[in-house]
Amino acid sequence: MIWIAVCAIAMLEQTRILLGIPVSISWLEVFVFCGTILGYHFNHPVKSLRYLAWSMVIPAALGFWFSDLPFWVMVTPALGWLGYYGFEQNGKTGLRNRMWAKPITVALTWAWVTVVFPAYADAQSPFGFMFIERSLFIFALALAYDQSDVAYDQTQGFGTLAMSLGRTRTLVLIYGCMLASGMAAFGQQYAARHLLGIWIALAIGSIWLRTILHKPQWYRWHKPMIDGVMVMECLSVGVFECLSV
């Protein structure tokens, strides 16, 4: 439960580093951290964990209230979340059950939270290419999620893009998204050290995702290991930032 929220904060802080915004812990981080736990686990089958997820409502609400972003900026990801589940706990009537819409919704929602949130009020330069770069990166991870969950999705009656493409073509699309993400990073005109950190992370991440998806015996750990690619990219960017100081 905690790991996915840590990944969200890592991506948010990576945006601050890339745009030259001081890394900080503020009410925005509280909102993102607690909101991520709630959004991913509000319907957890284990009752104690479901209650724990719902306990995040109060700190998330405080983070929402005390953050200085406009209301429309803060609530936009919630619309993506509601559309994903289709106002239904199992999500079978929402975008979650649409082949292309599912990973696109996940990618755009994560990009909004981890790029628009930290950049909207503080960035001194446009961040459009960064939004594209982050969306493509998360899209690749969402595909890896779906490939890992093919057997489960079949039993639940979900139709996913990974299921339609098959493992080989899904991996090709993942690699293509990682490459396109790196090209979008070039378009953002990051500092050379930041580009190097992103490209190295994307290359290692692509190899890592392929390794994970070829290890069905690791299934229990697939999702945290896939999510870990986000933390790895943040650390890679952070290391090259520190080396330049």
Higher pLDDT, 86 or 235: 235
Residues 200-226 have a mean pLDDT of 94
pLDDT score at 87: 59
Which of 51-65, 83-97, 119-133 bottoms out in mean pLDDT, i.e. has the lowest?
83-97
Cβ-defined contacts of 18-27 (< 8 Å, 24+):
18/130, 18/188, 18/190, 18/194, 18/237, 19/118, 19/119, 19/122, 19/123, 19/124, 19/125, 19/127, 19/130, 20/124, 21/118, 21/119, 21/122, 21/123, 26/67, 27/62, 27/63, 27/65, 27/66, 27/67
- Compute the average pLDDT of residues 205-227: 93
pLDDT at position 126 over 90? no
| Alpha carbon distance 128, 10 (integer Å) | 20
Q: Is the pLDDT of residue 89 over 60?
A: no
The predicted pLDDT at position 245 comes to 58
Report pLDDT for 153.
Answer: 77
- Is the pLDDT assigned to residue 91 strictly greater than 60? no
pLDDT in tens, 8-61: 999 999 999 999 888 888 999 999 999 999 999 998 889 999 999 999 999 999
Is 21 in a helix, a strand, or coil? coil
In the block, which residue shows the tokens 């290692």? 204
Whole-number average pLDDT of the chain:
90
Write out pLDDT tens, residues 142-194: 999 999 988 887 787 777 888 889 989 999 999 999 999 999 998 888 889 99
Q: Given this model, what pLDDT does residue 85 score?
A: 80
Residue 93 has pLDDT above 90, yes or no: no
Full-model pTM? 0.93
- Mean of the pLDDT values across residues 86-104? 72
Is the model's pLDDT at 92 over the cut of 70? no
